[in-house]
Structure 1
Amino acid sequence: MLRPTSRLCPFCEVRSILNTKPSPIQSPWQQSRHYGQLQRRKPSRMELSPNVGRTRDPPRSMTDSKPPEKKAVDPFGNLNQREARVQPPPQRKRTELEHKQAYNARERGSSRKRPEAFKALKMQRALAPVPYGDRAAVKSQISDLESFDEFPLLPSLKKAIADALPGLEDVSPTPAQRVAIPALLGVDDRRRKRNPVEKKGMEQFLLAAETGSGKTLAYLLPVIDAIKRAEVIEAEEEAQAEAAEKAADAQANKRTDMFSLKSPPLSTDPHPTSARPRAIILVPTAELVVQVGQLAKALSHVVKFRTAPISAANTATVIRSRLFSPSGVDVVISTPHLLGSIAESNPNILSRVTHLVIDEADSLLDRSFSPTTSAIIDRSTPSLRQLILCSATIPRRLDSFLEKRFPDIKRLVTPNLHAIPRRVQLGVVDVNKEPYRGNKDLACADTIWTIGRATAEHSDEGTEHVELKRIIVFVNEREKAVEVADYLVTKGIDAVALNRDTSGERASRILASFKGLAKGEEAPVAEPAASDAPVRRRRLLNTKVIVTTDLGSRGIDTLAVRHVILYDVPHTTIDFIHRLGRTGRMGRRGRGIVLVGRGDRTDVVKEVREGMFKGQALI
């Protein structure tokens, strides 16, 4: 039987003859597919190459000087790997505030984070944070100090405290004084006794306490105590030296002529402490020089030390007579610029200083005062034993300055620092509503009239006896202070403007009337108006008003002020604290009123009110 003719190509026919197994008959398209599969097999898309784990860059040799370039981070660079070597995201460094918050959380035994408060105040925040754990520790530490007798002060100084604080039935130390006095005296916290070992080098302290807490007396008492104790030691040394000198002279007189006498000292010799004080207190304004000088003078009636308050408001003759007094000087109270100019011509004024106090340190260490204040600190450093900085707030710029210049400074902080006292109430007047319609001047005048009328009392004879009220109105610009004061005068209100352009003598007179009721000063009495009396312009007789900028918000002891009006919303929390701190001082009640108009931050005012109600620090 004949086989049919084959349709294979010659090559396939030869291959089929050589194979032992008979190959099936394939069509041409099957043959082409078969030979394509016989070619080199390509890897599957789901199969990784064995060279995936190898680095692409050749190993760096020892002769290569230039390191290989770092490749940019590729978001898909981790896909082509045999192992999941995923780099963790970079961790953000903790800030100082976050470190302190984490530490306080561990101390409380809880690590959960509190929600951040005061979101609107975050952009206005310029204060350095103080941990609440430190506040609680200080509060428990000073809770058992209830009297000045518990401090190791001189007996004469304890007696002088009652004279320096007249009108107070119960004279007890404030929290600022309980924190500062033991530390400045060098009292051991465990034994409550003075440390007899004299410390070498200069001690550095930062006293930060809320406004109206008695910081002036807190640093004056330890400074005067140290001065009087140093006088006793020097007197003993001089007595011993004089006795030794007399013994030496007596022995010499036996060997020489008995009629030869030593010439007496000349009466024109200056006092050894003339223009060489032991303590210097620096304050920013002339008004504060007078205020601190009055308190030091009240203490000197019993303790017997010599003080010299000098400022630009004094004449050159007065300054010279106080510094170069024949009886000497112990404490000098001045402004940095005046004392710096005196030190240029008479460097000996800083050669004997052992205690340097910088009051209102947040102002005296800013851009305008810092060069002069730093120069005074540097010149007095060789003889300085204590450097005391005082402030009602700790701004961030002051905090960073102290970290660089005085890293070992000891901070004496009260529990209520950066908090407006709860005894001060804060009211809000919406100027955009009726009847003011956006007129802030009218709202300010109406608020003052409301305060003045609320204090009037009528007697049986029909006369009107009123209590004299003192109100401070704060504005942000000094030109606005004059405009607002002039407008209030047209509305029958006794108002004056106080700003940088006001002379020192006039500013002292204005502020003197706000520090208390002077002797012989009586509140005005308004007679009842008769029906047939001529019509006259109404006048608010029982109210005195000062319209000022932040010039009147630093350190002035406005004890008689019960009401503060914020004509403009302050820019920062520092201004809030200082302005509202002019009322409610020394445990008294006060009231602040904010005029909120178009463009003012109502959310900031709301958070300040909530913080005041809760007693929280505005940080």
Structure 2
Amino acid sequence: MTLSPKVGKPPVSADPKGRPRGRRTNTPFAGMNRTTAGIRQAPRARSLDEVKRATRPKSARPQKERETFHALKMQKALSAVPYGQRTSIKAQIQKTDDFDNFPLLAATKDSIAGGALSGLEDITPTPIQKVAIPVLLGNESRAIRRKALSEDGKDMGQFLLAAETGSGKTLAYLVPILDAIKRAEVQEAEDESRRLAREKEKEQDLNIYAVTPPPIDAPHPTTGRPRAIVLLPTSELVTQVGSVVKALSHTLKFRSAMISAAYTPKVIRNRLFSPSGIDVLISTPHLLASISESDPNVLSRVTHLVIDEADSLLDRSFAPSTSTIVDKTTPSLKQLILCSATIPRSLDSYLRKRFPDMRRLVTPNLHAIPRRVQLGVVDVDKQPYTGNKMLACADTIWSIGKAANETHPSSEDEGGDPQQTTRLLVFVNEREKSQEVAEYLAAKGIDAVALNRDTPEQRQTETLAQFTRRTSAPPQILASTETSSSSDVPPSGPNYVPPGRSGSSSLSPSTPRAKRHLANTKVLVSTDLGSRGIDTLAVKHVILYDVPHTTVDFIHRLGRTGRMGRRGRGIVLVGKHDRKDVVREVREGMFKGQALI
């Protein structure tokens, strides 16, 4: 046996190319048979300047500017509107200061002052009305109007109306539609009179001895065939918009009807197929889609289709019915109008795919909560609540109610003025929680009712009617109410047990009754069912029991107060597991007047 010539020689420290040969460390056995650690990635020696910068106190370090709305950007809920576009729109709407600036019929202008806005001294168009009405009327140059129409040859205008809550979007699309209907009626009457005259001349030429037969009572040609349709997600909104349409019809003279699940089948049939005809129909998508399945002629004459609360009607639950109605009305449709208080990213993506030529009419303050709405924060984890959010909610309501009662002690139940009743909305994220919170508040002597999807349709309408009543409280009442809630934490503590009694008929019979009752105060505990489109003009305070999931819900919930230029206040109850960073950024954005993201 012959040994290798390398036996007994030291290991070679370099490879054949002269590079130092290192021990491989990327094998499973690289750490075996070692007497020293031999860490190769030892930290390099830092220079004196680096040591000084590292040991410098935090107060002396240059602070990097924090990114605005960092927590809100993580949610990615809303579609951004460039500030350059907002500025140009703001300069454009400053030229209009009265409804007389719009090319409307005289009867249409009279219906605005005498119907929809009756009782108001200063009748001035809102920003969304200044932006939308001229465009929907076609009061623009021919080049712009030609460009706005679809390029594939369809003579149908597609518009998206987006404005903050309580800004008058309903009147912004109703006024142009009703004006177009009245103009079409005049044109059709002239055409019909000329046709009848021609037919009469022909009959006389054929037989000069013919006798004209007596007229036969035939149904109206517009029976069951409306000219305009307004789609809304809930029966409460159908009633609300229907009342505005009815107020306009007293002066403008047109026929309207509202149908929803709140009415019986007989009432729906009599309203839709009335012998006197129908011009404007207000309905929910599911009901109208089912009617059109059995009678397709219902949608054969529609020239204007409005999809109000488009962010809700184009989601997964309403999209099939809404799309069916859009497809069936397209052959006769002249204007498709979508209306929403926000433009979520999901809606933005849907519109870019389905309606790429849709023209967007937005206001400068879109996605911004008005500055007239103040936002307070109650930290539930601190004293005196120590994590009891229900106690914090009841204590906040008692503080607001007592301050209002000090000025107006007479109760509505005792014959006092119902306009002095303080109405509050409490929003929760889950419908089971709404019933639980309402029962707790009733046990603490607060007149509270719950509103969610499980509430019957008739009771929903009756409950919301108490909070949508238009009030005309004097300014001193508003000032005293807002001053009483200026602090973030109400003054009373957990040892204070507010007296009261239960005033809700929708609560559980096992709910204990309190000894005393908070007078002149009504509370509605609701889910997002009560946050979309409801005109809660009588509500001055909104309490967010749960922090909303997205900024879209923030805007809709806080939009229930501070409507029509009035002042309002929102209070957020923040607990241990809530997103305090989101609440902080929403509050900063409201203070600066910035649009939320």
Q: TM-score range by the shorter chain?
A: 0.7 to 0.9
Q: Distance in 2 between matches of 1:413 and 1:155?
A: 27
Question: What amino acid sits opposite 1:585 in the alignment?
Answer: R
Q: Deviations over 1:1-59 (max 9, x none)?
A: xxxxxxxxxxxxxxxxxxxxxxxxxxxxxxxxxxxxxxxxx9999xxxxxxxxxxxxxx
Identify if the C-alpha distance between structure 1 residues 247 and 190 changes in structure 2 by more than 3 Å, giving closer, same or farther: closer
Report the equivalent of 1:212. 166
User: Counterparts of 2:464 and 2:514 in 1: how far apart (Å)?
Assistant: 30
Cα 1:455–1:191, aligned 2, differ >3 Å: closer, same or farther? farther
Deviation at 1:168, TM superposition (A): 1.9
Cα pair distance change 1:459/1:165, threshold 3 Å: closer
Letter in 1 for 2:204: A
Q: 1:190, CA displacement in angstroms?
A: 10
Partner AA of 2:225 in structure 1: R
Q: 1:444 aligns with which of 393, 403, 413?
A: 393
In the alignment, structure 1 residue 501 sits paired with structure 2 residue 454: yes
For residue 242 of structure 2, give the secondary structure of its aligned residue in structure 1: helix
1:176 corresponds to 2:154:
no
Residue 311 of structure 1: aligned partner: 260
Q: Which residue pairs with 1:420 in the alignment?
A: 369
Answer yes or no: is the 8 Å Cα contact 1:152–1:194 preserved in 2: no
Q: Unmatched 5+ residue regions in structure 1?
A: 1-41, 46-113, 524-534
Contact 1:275–1:348 (CA<8 Å) still a contact in 2? yes
Counterpart secondary structure, 2:537: coil
SS of alignment partner, residue 573 of structure 2 = strand
TM-score (norm 1): 0.76
Residue aligning to 2:62? none
2:187 to 233, 248, 264: 233
Instruction: Report the equivalent of 2:202.
Output: 248
> How far is the alpha carbon of 1:263 from its aligned partner?
3.5
CA distance in 2, matches of 1:115, 1:430: 24
Could you tell me how far 1:457 is from its partner in structure 2?
Answer: 3.5
Distance 1:464 1:482 in 2: 29
Given that 1:186 and 1:194 are in contact with CA atoms closer than 8 Å, whether structure 2 keeps it comes out as: no
1:582 aligns with 2:532: no
Q: 1:515, CA displacement in angstroms?
A: 1.1
User: Equivalent of 1:596, from 574, 579, 583?
Assistant: 574
- Give yes or no for contact 2:233–2:312 (8 Å, CA) kept in 1: yes
Match of 2:242 in 1: 293
CA contact (8 A) 1:205 1:389 kept: yes
CA contact (8 A) 1:185 1:194 kept: no
Q: Which moved more, 1:200-209 or 1:584-593?
A: 200-209
Measured after TM superposition, the shift of residue 262 of structure 1 is: 4.4
Aligned residue in 1 for 2:299 = 350
Q: Describe the SS at the equivalent of 1:412.
A: strand
Match of 2:32 in 1: none
**How far is the alpha carbon of 1:301 from its aligned partner?**
0.3
Which residue identity lines up with residue 168 of structure 1 in the other structure? L
Paired amino acid for 1:142? I
Structure 1 position 302 matched with structure 2 position 251: yes
Report if the CA contact (8 A) 1:188-1:194 is conserved: no
Q: Give the secondary structure class of the aligned counterpart of 1:266.
A: coil
1:158 counterpart SS class: helix
Note the alpha carbon deviations across 1:553-578, whole angstroms, 9 max, x for none.
00000001000000000000000000
Residue in structure 2 matched with residue 157 of structure 1 by the alignment: 108
- Letter of the aligned partner of 2:440 in structure 1? Y
Counterpart code for 2:200: K
Question: 1:244 Cα shift?
Answer: 0.5
- Equivalent residue for 1:134, pick from 85, 101, 112: 85
1:7 corresponds to: none
CA contact (8 A) 1:187 1:194 kept: no
Is it true that 1:557 corresponds to 2:535 in the alignment?
Answer: yes
Determine if the alignment matches structure 1 residue 477 to structure 2 residue 426.
Answer: no
Residue type matched to 1:147 in 2? Answer: D
Q: Is the 8 A contact 2:471 2:537 kept in 1?
A: no
How far did 1:455 drift? 1.1
- Taking the aligned partners of 2:246 and 2:271, their CA distance within structure 1 comes to 13
Aligned alpha-carbon RMSD (Å): 2.7
Q: Partner amino acid for 2:121?
A: E
CA contact (8 A) 1:206 1:390 kept: yes
One-letter amino acid matched to 2:216: L
Matches within 5 A, 1:60-459: 116-162=67-113, 163-188=115-140, 201-254=155-208, 258=209, 260-267=210-217, 269-457=218-406
Following TM superposition, by how much is the alpha carbon of 1:318 offset from its aligned partner in structure 2, in angstroms? Answer: 0.8
Tell me how far apart the structure 2 counterparts of residues 460 and 202 of structure 1 sit (CA, whole Å): 57
Counterpart of 1:74?
none
Measure the CA separation in 1 of the matches of 2:193 and 2:575: 71
Change (3 A) 1:536 1:235: closer
The answer on whether the counterparts of 1:364 and 1:370 sit within 8 Å (CA) in structure 2 is yes
Cα contact 2:452–2:529 (8 A) shared by 1: yes
Q: In structure 2, how many angstroms separate the alpha carbons of the residues matched to 1:44 and 1:438?
A: 72
Counterpart for residue 59 of structure 1: none
Which segment is superposed worse, 245-254 or 170-179?
A: 245-254
Amino acid across the alignment from 1:287: E
How many angstroms apart in 1 are the aligned matches of 2:405 and 2:312? 40
**1:567–1:595 CA contact under 8 A, matched in 2:** yes
Note the C-alpha offset of 1:126: 0.8
**Structure 2 gap segments, 5+ residues each:** 1-15, 20-64, 478-512
SS in 2 for 1:455: helix
Query: 2:213, 2:107 → 1: CA distance?
Result: 38
Provide the rounded CA distance (Å) in 1 between the counterparts of 2:514 and 2:336: 59
Question: Does the C-alpha gap of structure 1 residues 176 and 302 become closer, same or farther in structure 2, counting only changes over 3 Å?
Answer: same
SS in 1 for 2:135: helix
Q: What residue in structure 2 maps to residue 545 of structure 1? A: 523
1:612 aligned partner: 590
Assess, with a 3 A threshold, how the Cα gap between structure 1 residues 191 and 205 changes in structure 2: closer, same or farther. closer
**Partner secondary structure for residue 327 of structure 2:** helix
2:75 counterpart SS class: coil
Aligned-residue offset at 1:237? 0.5
Instruction: List per-residue Cα deviations over 1:224-249 (Å, max 9, x = no partner).
Output: 00000001111110011011011111
Secondary structure of 2:159's aligned partner: strand
Q: Distance in 1 between matches of 2:469 and 2:311?
A: 27
Change (3 A) 1:425 1:387: same
Deviations along 1:392-438, one digit per CA (max 9) or x if unpaired, are 00011110111111000000010000010010000000111111110
- Higher-Rg member (1/2): 1
Percent pairwise identity: 68
Q: Which region of structure 1 is more displaced relative to structure 2, 549-558 or 116-125?
A: 116-125
In the aligned structure 1, how far is the partner of 2:409 from the partner of 2:524? 33
Partner of 1:20: none
CA distance in 2, matches of 1:125, 1:572: 9
Within 5 Å, give how 1:16-27 maps onto structure 2: none
Q: For 2:82, give the aligned amino acid.
A: P
Distance 1:579 1:404, change over 3 A: same
Instruction: Please report how far the alpha carbon of residue 129 of structure 1 lies from its aligned counterpart in structure 2 after TM superposition.
Output: 0.9
